[in-house]
Structure 1
Amino acid sequence: MKLLLISLFALLQPNADDFKLQNGDLIFQEACSGDVATAIKDVTKSSDGNQFTHVGIVYIDENENVFVLEATHPKVILTPLNEYLYPQEHKDSYPKSVVGRLKNEYQHCIPKALKEGMNLIGKDYDYGYILNNDQYYCSELVYDILLKANNGLPVFPLNVMTFKSSETGEFTKEWIDYFDRLDVPVPEGEMGINPGAMSRSDVLSIIHYY
């Protein structure tokens, strides 16, 4: 009898293998290491205690092949899902990946947003985190294509960017070194958006953990 009850209980539980991505799902990632990843974690907050450093948007083609459109070093690219989730350069420690889905009132934006995004493949990565310069960092890409798809009305709000540690109130060494290498000023106080803030927005729901 006990075994029967356990079997019935198991049948009633949702199976993680049954989860299916949809066009327009966002996959947030928490990188395990790296100076820039550490610097991002120091100055941003994410949902559910995570420390997201990257985000891409799901694109599923007519043959049901699943890709992630992402702005990464050095350009905007379309990456097969498995390569995005399990990058070979990090095979000893894959990034944590978490799926967010836009709420129903924004689902209508997705087809046009993806069309806009496909037109941006090959654009340069925006190392300086500056809006409206025809270059894109990861969350800027998602923000921008949804903005265009929603007739110029933001789906995600922009934030005032800070590159200062929440603990010390000072620029972290990683950010100082990063912008010194670029030979550009730290864009402190400029408008922008980061994966953590995006993950905490009330326009989406966190629905799956890989």
Structure 2
Amino acid sequence: MKAILLMVLFLSGMTVRADDFRLQSGDLIFQEDCANGTDNTIKAVTASIGDYRFTHVGIVYIDDNDSVYVIEATRPKVAKTPLNDYLHPEGKDCYPKSVVGRLKEEYSACIPAALNEGLTLIGKDYDDGFILGNDKYYCSELIYDILLKANNGIPVFALNTMTFKSPDTGEITKGWKEYFGKYNLPVPEGEPGINPGAMSSSDVIDIVHYY
């Protein structure tokens, strides 16, 4: 039926697009990386919507010239990344799977202040230790924090109790032991935090697009 409709519109001289989706400022783009290393370590202990295992998230910022960026906490620092570079990063064997979540209408008023806060954090160090409140940021912490401030100190996303244990063995995974050992940091097991997977399944957003 869709193919017939497209043909009718074409014959009538009307131009159509197969995909009319448009990003909006404040959209969250969740990503599942196909790389090895820390990303697979994250996948081992987190769950996301559907069959995804998200390892990263950033927030869309569209400037006055309609240029689209993603504000993201990534190594080594918080950055404002052009959309195409975010979706198709150089130096990767494969591109991440990207899924767009949009805050529900009741939270849309927070978006301008949250983006302004995010812009002020560009250049802040990445938080390798996943610790809240240390003036460093990991990806989902950045989103949590800027929305918290924009919403007058009321959390938009709920914090979780972090775990780095395998659901199969109940032990901290080898990958996480190696990760925190590399940075000479304690494993923050049981500490408050948030991950992209939990954020993606929150009831404060709607999933609106799959790249």
**Common topology (TM > 0.5):** yes
Q: 1:162 to 1:18 in 2, by over 3 A?
A: same
Q: 2-side partners of 1:77 and 1:17: how far apart?
A: 28
Q: Deviations over 1:129-170 (max 9, x none)?
A: 000000000000000000000000000000000000111111
Partner of 2:30: 28
Distance (Å, rounded) in 1 between the aligned partners of 2:33 and 2:189? 23
Give the structure 2 partner of residue 185 of structure 1.
186
Moved over 4 A (4+): 9-12
Point out the more displaced range, 30-39 or 102-111.
30-39
SS at structure 2 position matched to 1:99: strand
RMSD value, Cα: 1.7
Partner of 1:64: 66
Alpha-carbon spacing, 1:202–1:15, altered in 2? closer, same or farther (3 Å): farther
Structure 2: gaps (5+ residues): 10-15
Structure 1 counterpart of 2:175, which letter?
A: E
Higher helix share: 1
1:8 aligns with 2:10: no
How many residues in Structure 1 have an aligned counterpart in Structure 2?
Answer: 205
Q: Give me the whole-angstrom Cα distance separating, in 2, the residues matched to 1:165 and 1:49.
A: 17
TM-score normalised per structure 2? 0.93
Corresponding residue for residue 137 of structure 2: 136
Partner of 1:83: 85
SS at match of 2:209: strand
CA distance in 2, matches of 1:10, 1:118: 45
Deviations 1:160-197 (A, max 9, x none): 00000111111111100011111121000000000000
Find the residue that maps to 1:18 and give its secondary structure.
coil
2 CA distance for matches of 1:51 and 1:176? Answer: 20
Structure 2 vs 1, CA of residues 120 and 16 (structure 1 numbering), >3 Å: closer, same or farther?
farther
Where do 1:140-159 residues align within 5 Å? 140-159=141-160
What CA distance in whole angstroms lies between the structure 1 residues aligned with 2:146 and 2:7? Answer: 41
Provide the residue aligned with 2:117 in structure 1: 116
Instruction: Name 1:101's counterpart in structure 2.
Output: 102
Amino acid at match of 2:40: T
Give the structure-1-normalised TM-score.
0.94
Report how far residue 35 of structure 1 moved. Answer: 1.4
Gaps of 5+ in 1: none
Task: Mark the CA change 1:86 to 1:11 in structure 2 (over 3 Å): closer, same or farther.
Answer: farther
Cα offset, 1:17, TM superposition? 2.7
One-letter amino acid of the counterpart of residue 90, structure 2: Q
